[in-house]
Chains A and B, each alone.
Chain A
Amino acid sequence: MSVAPQSVRIIEGDSPFAHLQRLLGRRDTVRYLVTSQLKAGQRDKVLGHLWNLLDPLLYMLVYFFVFGVLFGQGRGRSVDFMLYIISGVLTWRFFDASINQCVMCVRSNRGLIQEINFPKSVFPVAVCLARLYDFCWGLVVLLLVLLVTGHFPGINVLWLPFLVAILVAFAMGLGFLAAYVGAFFADTQNVMTVALRLWFYTSPIFYHVSGPNALEPLTKHPNIKAIYMSNPMACIMEGVRDVTLNSRPPDLEYTVYAASVALATLIVGFCVFTRGEGKFAKYV
Chain B
Amino acid sequence: MLAENLGVRYLVRYHRNEVTLRETFVRMLPGRRTPAKWRGEFWSLTGVNLVAYPGEIVGIVGENGAGKTTLLKALAGICGADTGRVVVRGRVGCLMSFGVGFRPNLSGRENVYLNGTLLGLTKREIDQRIEEIGAFSELGDFFEAQVRTYSAGMKGRLGFSIAIHIQPDVLLLDEVLTVGDASFRAKAGTIVERFRTEDKTVIIASHNMPMLRQRCTRCVWLERGTVRMEGDPREVTEAYAEYARGDGAEE
What residues of chain A have their CB less than 8 Å away from a CB belonging to chain B? 4-5, 7-13, 26, 28-29, 32-33, 36, 39-40, 43, 109-118, 122, 184-185, 187, 277-279, 281-283
Contact B120 A118 (CB under 8 A): yes
Given A13-B80, A39-B105, A279-B80, does the pair A116, B85 have CB atoms closer than 8 Å? no
Contact B79 A282 (CB under 8 A): yes
Contact B114 A9 (CB under 8 A): no
Is B182 engaged at the interface, CB distance under 8 Å to the other chain? no
> 1/0 contact trace for B13-55 toward A, CB 8 Å?
1111001110010000000000000000000000000000000
Is B100 engaged at the interface, CB distance under 8 Å to the other chain? yes
Given A32-B117, A115-B97, does the pair A40, B78 have CB atoms closer than 8 Å? no
Chain A residues contacting B14 (CB-CB under 8 Å) are 282
Contact B78 A9 (CB under 8 A): no
CA distance A115 to B118 in the complex (A): 10
Q: A-B pairs with the 3 shortest C-beta distances?
A: A278-B80, A111-B100, A112-B101
CA distance A191 to B79 in the complex (A): 28
Is B106 engaged at the interface, CB distance under 8 Å to the other chain? yes
Contact A8 B19 (CB under 8 A): no
- The distance from the CB of A10 to the nearest CB of chain B, in whole angstroms, is 6
Chain A residues contacting B88 (CB-CB under 8 Å) are 8-9, 11
CA distance A278 to B80 in the complex (A): 4
Given A5-B89, A28-B123, does the pair A117, B78 have CB atoms closer than 8 Å? yes
Is B77 engaged at the interface, CB distance under 8 Å to the other chain? yes
CA distance A234 to B79 in the complex (A): 41
> 1/0 contact trace for B82-103 toward A, CB 8 Å?
0001111110101111001111
Is B197 engaged at the interface, CB distance under 8 Å to the other chain? no
Task: Among B79, B89, B115, point to the contact of A278 (Cβ < 8 A).
Answer: B79
Task: Among B16, B76, B89, B90, point to the contact of A283 (Cβ < 8 A).
Answer: B16
Contact B87 A10 (CB under 8 A): yes
Contact A117 B86 (CB under 8 A): no
Contact B105 A40 (CB under 8 A): yes
Task: Among B79, B89, B117, B118, point to the contact of A8 (Cβ < 8 A).
Answer: B89
Given contacts A26-B118, A111-B102, A282-B15, 7 further A-B contacts (CB under 8 A): A29-B118, A110-B100, A115-B94, A115-B101, A117-B76, A185-B24, A278-B79
